[in-house]
Structure 1
Amino acid sequence: MTNAPLILTLDCDMFSNDPNAPQRALCYFLDKDFSPNLSFVQFPQRYTGLNKNDIYSGEFRRVFVLNEQGLDGLQGANYVGTCSFFSRRSLYSSPPMAMPSSDEFKVQSCLLSSELILLKANEVANSEYEHGHKEWGSQIGFMYGSLVEDYYTGYILHCKGWTSVFCNPDRPAFLGEAPKSLLDVLSQRKRWCVGLYQASDQWFFLYAYLFLSTYVQDLIEFMEVGGLMQRWWSEQRMWLIKGISSSTFGTLDFILSQIGCSSQGFNVTNKVKREEENKLYENGKFVFRTASPFFVSMGTIAIINVISFIFGFIKAMIRVGGLDEMMIQLLLSGFIVTNSWPVYEAMFTRKDGGKMPESVTKASILLSIILFYLGNFYFTLND
């Protein structure tokens, strides 16, 4: 609730790290070449407390730096929900044909009545206010209807003709606390996955296949923005983990919500510090600890691939020409096994408090046996 010409949006768990950040943003808003169509200045999200290899890929270097730098040369960076300075005017109108010169955009010199301000504030804060203003949340202010209202808002602003700027100074403008537990990371990703489906274009799947790239190109791009080899490995490993857990469950939640079988809630990422959790994280150990469906899917995939790799390798060695025939399958399965090493450790060798719960390990083994049996039955039937 403000009538200020500029608005800072910042998550409650982040803090200012550079007192010059507002001045940096003002440099763009006061520049005649940028300001007429400039909606917001986006700073990257940065985090404190990341361990040496960033095992959970909490840095989000690709999303918050690499992608934003690429978009900066087009219509501008995405709005990521925090670390942004907004032009208030862009939240309720389209870009002007020329620089505004009316009294509407001049600061009032007269004092405002405190009683009037409180009256207006109570009116806006009232839960019934938006029911009488149907354009609120769809044409005015930040967009509703998605768990990722930030991306949705930025998308709508760009569609209206507004632009944005990505500002990435050496000193982080704002800092936050990254999740230290794998469950918290995957829960956060699941929430984002559901929201991105809600905000996506109906032709999304037609475009999706265009964005295929090789791991070599991915590594080069990651290192070009200051990333390290080990952190890239953590990044791609977490990409695989999220794909078989949080993204899968997020997709399922979205489908169920569309047919009226589920109501997606907003689960705030746990930022509470636990001493043992932090110690394991600093030592580069994944923290499982909690029994979760996320971990069952991870354990099942890991077990299936290691068994497939072992039996496939034996079969390839025994059969004449088997190695040439099964080379691609062995490489793919071996790559997944390598990425799943922290899962095997948590299930079978670790004794600390962050190991995989016994119930999850048993459920993963049981589900793997069932899937192997069904697969064997299917191929036997077809033969």
Structure 2
Amino acid sequence: MYRYEDKTEWGDRVGWIYGSVTEDVVTGYRMHNRGWRSVYCITKRDAFRGSAPINLTDRLHQVLRWATGSVEIFFSRNNAFLATRRLKMLQRLAYLNVGIYPFTSIFLIVYCFLPALSLFSGFFIVQTLDITFLIYLLLITICLVLLAILEVKWSGIELEEWWRNEQFWLISGTSAHFAAVMQGLLKVIAGIEISFTLTSKSAGDDVDDIYADLYLVKWTSLMIPPIVIAMTNIIAMAFAFIRTIYSTVPQWSKFVGGAFFSFWVLAHLYPFAKGLMGRRRKTPTIVFVWSGLIAITISLLWIAISPPKATGTADGAGGGFQFP
């Protein structure tokens, strides 16, 4: 009977819970919050199989939908902060992570722009490299390496797959996760409902190639933040390189330090740039338009903030420009 839910609490208090983009998370939370126990079962043969998007645009839309559902959970009564005592501590932390992780995109975007800001300003991110800072940096680096080794060993994947996952984490964090936070805030503050683009899982027009959909490039506004980040870091590296060459006392240490962090950001965005090229390296015209506008805007903004100083001889002969 298709009307078996009528006049029942199915979908509201029992069964598969409705009213959320991420119904599976809400359903699991409701069950654990009432004291139910769950067991992770791995069968020899796959119990279920599904299809997933493989091209960049549809993948970003899918991540956007998941992240928006997490933001909705954070601003709803399903927040783990409001859970009962039946929810165990580790479960509470897990559900808190589900609702909070999209907000880390704000800090991630700031971190991606910091190297470029350092190159533009000429000041290194850290003013003094003292022993305390170096020890702190060493401990953080060791912890990150150990965490990476633990993830690789626990999941049974190769190091290359782990690195690919790290790259997509930054790509989705600066695009889909940030957009999800903005949409979630608009819904909570202004009451604006969220609309989604359904994820396409077709294989494209080329039925002979099962990976034909991988090479499709469809423009979406989610691509704007990663493009801005990549172009800003590239322009900052070029600007700092030219300034270092033409300066009276070249400070290559500052340039190398700032360029290293910008290169680290660009290395994470490499799959994104490669995905924009498509199969035959055909890039949508809008990508070049945005790239040009961003480059011109950043250049004019920097000239307006810190214009070059004109220098010349006492009698007015000769002249040139000196970067600040």
User: Normalising to structure 2: TM-score of the pair?
Assistant: 0.64
Rate the CA distance shift 1:261–1:305 in 2: closer, same or farther, 3 A.
farther
Q: CA deviation digits over 1:10-68, x for unaligned, max 9?
A: xxxxxxxxxxxxxxxxxxxxxxxxxxxxxxxxxxxxxxxxxxxxxxxxxxxxxxxxxxx
Q: Is the 8 A contact 1:194 1:254 kept in 2?
A: yes
Question: 1:22-101, aligned counterparts within 5 Å?
Answer: none
Deviation at 1:221, TM superposition (A): 2.6
Distance 2:146 2:71 in 1: 26
> SS state of the match for residue 50, structure 2?
strand
1:246 to 164, 176, 186: 176
If each structure's strand is expressed as a fraction of its own residues, which one has the higher value?
1
Deviation at 1:354, TM superposition (A): 6.4
Aligned to 2:230: 302
Aligned to 1:42: none
Deviation at 1:257, TM superposition (A): 1.7
Rate the CA distance shift 1:379–1:158 in 2: closer, same or farther, 3 A.
farther
Distance 1:278 1:181 in 2: 17
If each structure's helix is expressed as a fraction of its own residues, which one has the higher value?
2
Q: Is the 8 A contact 2:216 2:278 kept in 1?
A: no
Q: Which amino acid aligns with 1:355?
A: K
Q: Is the 8 A contact 1:184 1:270 kept in 2?
A: yes
1:137 to 4, 8, 11: 11
2:240 to 306, 309, 312: 312
Distance 2:208 2:186 in 1: 35
Deviation at 1:228, TM superposition (A): 0.9
Distance 2:216 2:302 in 1: 29
Question: 1:187-206, aligned counterparts within 5 Å?
Answer: 187-200=61-74, 201=79
1:356 to 283, 295, 307: 283
Question: 1:193-272, aligned counterparts within 5 Å?
Answer: 193-200=67-74, 201=79, 215-224=144-153, 225-260=155-190, 262-272=192-202
Rate the CA distance shift 1:140–1:303 in 2: closer, same or farther, 3 A.
same
The percentage of counterpart residues that share the same residue type is 26
Specify every segment of 5 or more residues in structure 1 that has no aligned partner in the other structure, as ranges.
Answer: 1-120
Rate the CA distance shift 1:308–1:215 in 2: closer, same or farther, 3 A.
farther
Q: Which amino acid aligns with 1:148?
A: T
Q: CA deviation digits over 1:69-111, x for unaligned, max 9?
A: xxxxxxxxxxxxxxxxxxxxxxxxxxxxxxxxxxxxxxxxxxx
Q: Is the 8 A contact 1:181 1:288 kept in 2?
A: yes
Aligned to 2:55: 181
Matched, 1:163 2:37: yes
Paired residues in the alignment total 249
Distance 1:311 1:244 in 2: 24
Distance 1:190 1:155 in 2: 21
Deviation at 1:182, TM superposition (A): 0.8
Matched, 1:331 2:211: no
Specify every segment of 5 or more residues in structure 2 that has no aligned partner in the other structure, as ranges.
Answer: 82-95, 105-139, 308-323
Distance 1:275 1:124 in 2: 40
> SS state of the match for residue 360, structure 1?
helix
Q: Which amino acid aligns with 1:330?
A: A
Deviation at 1:174, TM superposition (A): 2.3
Deviation at 1:345, TM superposition (A): 4.9
> SS state of the match for residue 215, structure 2?
coil
Aligned to 2:300: 373
Distance 2:56 2:148 in 1: 23
Matched, 1:274 2:148: no
Cα RMSD of the aligned pairs, angstroms, is 3.6
Consecutive aligned runs of 4 or more in structure 1 exceeding 6 Å deviation: 205-209
Rate the CA distance shift 1:275–1:163 in 2: closer, same or farther, 3 A.
same
Q: Which amino acid aligns with 2:282?
A: K
Distance 1:294 1:351 in 2: 17
Q: CA deviation digits over 1:277-297, x for unaligned, max 9?
A: 995958xx9635212112233
Aligned to 1:124: 4
> SS state of the match for residue 330, structure 1?
helix
Deviation at 1:336, TM superposition (A): 1.6
Q: Which amino acid aligns with 1:309?
A: M
Q: Which amino acid aligns with 2:54?
A: K
Distance 2:304 2:211 in 1: 42
> SS state of the match for residue 177, structure 1?
coil
Deviation at 1:169, TM superposition (A): 3.9
